[in-house]
Structure 1
Amino acid sequence: MANLGKKILSAFVEVNDDKKPETEKQPSNKEGLPKTEPVPTVSSTTANTSYTTTANSSKFKEYFEKLFREANLPGPDYFEYSKMLEAMQAVPDEQVRFITAFAGLSVQGLDKQKLMSTAAQYLQLLETDAQNFHNTVDAALQEKVVEKKRQMEEKEKRIQQLTQEISALQNDLLNTQAEIKENEAKIEANTGGYKLESEAMKNRITRDIEKIKNYIQ
C-alpha cells in the first residue's frame, strides 16, 4: 500500500524513491478489465492554466487511449466500435456512421448486447479511474499544499517572534549604550575631581611640612 501511495503521488509531484520502479502486470477486476493506474499529470511546481489546457490535453488523450487499449477485451467490443466511429468522421450523417460501424463489426461477432455491456464496462472503468485520480489529487494537496502552508505559517510565526526578540534586543542595546555613556561621563568626572583634590591635598601637606620645619623648633 505504501508503494502504491507513493506511485499515485508521483503522478503529480516529484517523490524520492531509492528503489527502481518495477514493471507490474495489471490485475483484472471482476468485469475482466484491468485495474486503473493514477492519471499522469504535470508536476505541481510547473503547472499553470495555459499549460494544462494545451500540452496536457494531448497527454490526457494519450492516457485514456492507453487505458482503454489495455482494458480491451478479446474480440470486437465498444473499444473497436468507438475507433471505427472516429475513423468515419468524414461521413456527415451521424446515424449512418453508427449503423455502418456496427454493421462492419457485427460480421466479426459483435451484437448490440455486447456493445452496450462493454460500453458500460468502459464507463465504469472511467469512474474507477476518476476516483483514483481524485484520491491522488487529495494526497498531493495534503502533502504539497496543506502541509506546506502549515509549515509556512509556523515559519511566519517564528519570524514574528524573532522580530520581536530583535526589537527588544535593539532597545536593550540602545539603553546599554546610553548607560555606558552616562557611566563614562560619571567616571571621567569623578576621576578629574579626584585628581584635582588629591593634588590640592598633596600641595597642602607639602606646604604644611615646610611650615612645620620653619615654625617649630
Structure 2
Amino acid sequence: MADSEQGLGRKILSFFIKEGTDPAQPAPVNEKPKEVVPAAPSPTVPNVAGTANVDRKFVQHFVELLEKANLPGPDYFEYKQALQSMEGLGLGEEKQFQAAWASFKAMGGAKDTSVLKTSADQYLGILDKDRAAFLKDVEKAIGDRVGSLQQEHKKLEESNITFAQQIADLQKKIDDNKNRLGQIAGEITEQSAKINVNKDNFEVTYQSFVEQIKSDLNQINKYLK
C-alpha cells in the first residue's frame, strides 16, 4: 500500500468508521468564558451504516488486525481509499464505484476486478478466523465465569429447598405440639377432677374410720372402768 500522511491504521479506521473531527471553536477574547461541564467519554463510535454502535475497543482490534494483514501491492484497500475519495463529489453510488475503479487502475492496480474480490475475500477470511477464535474464547469465558455462577445458583436453590423442608418439618412439630398442649390441658382438668374426687373419698373414709375408733374409745372409757 502506498504511503500517505496518515498512518496505515488511521487510514483503515477512516474507511469503516466516521468520527466527528471538527475542532473546538475558541471563545472570543472579550467574552466571559462559560463554565462547561465535561461530558463522560462514550465508549462507542457510530457505525457508518448508522444501524448500531461499534465498540471502540473492537474497532481498534480490527484496525490492528487488518493493518498486520495488509497484502503487498494495490488491492482492495487501495480501491477502498479511492472510493472514499469520491465522497462529496455529488456522484451516485454506481458512478462513485466506477470512478474509484478508474482511479485504482491509474495508480497501477490490476486491470480486472478479480484482485479486489480475491483480496477482499482474504481479508474476510482473516476476520472470520479472528471471529471464530473470539467466539471460542467467549465459550471458555462462559464456562469459567458463568459456569461457576450457575453452579453456585444451583447449590443455593438446593439449599433453599432443604431449608424449606426443614422449616416445614419444624412447623409440623410446632403444630403437633400445639395439638398436644390442647390435649394436655383437657387431661389436666380431667385428672385433677379424678384426683380431687379420690382425695375427697379418702377424707370421707378416713373420717369414718377415725370417728369409729374414737367412738369405740369413748365407749371403752365409759363402760370398762
With normalisation by structure 1, the TM-score equals: 0.55
Instruction: Trace 1:53-202 onto structure 2 (pairs within 5 A).
Output: 54-56=52-54, 60-72=58-70, 77-91=75-89, 92=91, 93=95, 94-104=97-107, 106=108, 118-143=119-144, 148=149, 152-153=153-154, 155-202=156-203
Counterpart of 2:87 in 1: which secondary structure?
coil
Structure 1 alignment gaps of length 5 or more: 1-52
**1:5: which partner in 2?**
none
Shift in Å, 1:120: 4.3
Pair 133,83 (structure 1): closer, same or farther in 2 beyond 3 Å: farther
Which structure is richer in relative contact order (CA contacts within 8 A, separation 6 or more)? 1
Shift in Å, 1:193: 2.2
State the distance in 2 between where 1:65 and 1:80 align. 15
Pair 90,82 (structure 1): closer, same or farther in 2 beyond 3 Å: same
Q: Do 1:85 and 1:97's aligned partners in 2 also have CA atoms closer than 8 Å?
A: yes
Q: Do 1:68 and 1:79's aligned partners in 2 also have CA atoms closer than 8 Å?
A: no
State the distance in 2 between where 1:59 and 1:88 align. 29
State the distance in 2 between where 1:83 and 1:97 align. 8
Pair 133,114 (structure 1): closer, same or farther in 2 beyond 3 Å: same
State the distance in 1 between where 2:168 and 2:117 align. 74
State the distance in 2 between where 1:178 and 1:188 align. 16
- Considering only aligned residues, what root-mean-square deviation do their CA atoms show, in Å? 3.6
Counterpart of 1:56 in 2: which secondary structure?
strand
**2:10: which partner in 1?**
none
State the distance in 1 between where 2:115 and 2:200 align. 123
State how many pairs are aligned. 161
The answer as to 2:220 corresponding to 1:209 is no
Query: Which digits, 9 at most, give the CA deviation of each residue in 1:91-143, with x for residues without a partner?
Result: 52111112213423x3xxx5568766644442321121121122133234444
Matched to 2:101, the amino acid is F
Q: Do 2:86 and 2:99's aligned partners in 1 also have CA atoms closer than 8 Å?
A: no
Q: Do 1:77 and 1:114's aligned partners in 2 also have CA atoms closer than 8 Å?
A: yes
Q: Do 1:77 and 1:118's aligned partners in 2 also have CA atoms closer than 8 Å?
A: yes
Q: Which has the larger radius of gyration?
A: 2
Structure 2 alignment gaps of length 5 or more: 1-50, 221-225
State the distance in 2 between where 1:61 and 1:102 align. 30
State the distance in 2 between where 1:124 and 1:199 align. 108
Identity of aligned residues (%): 25
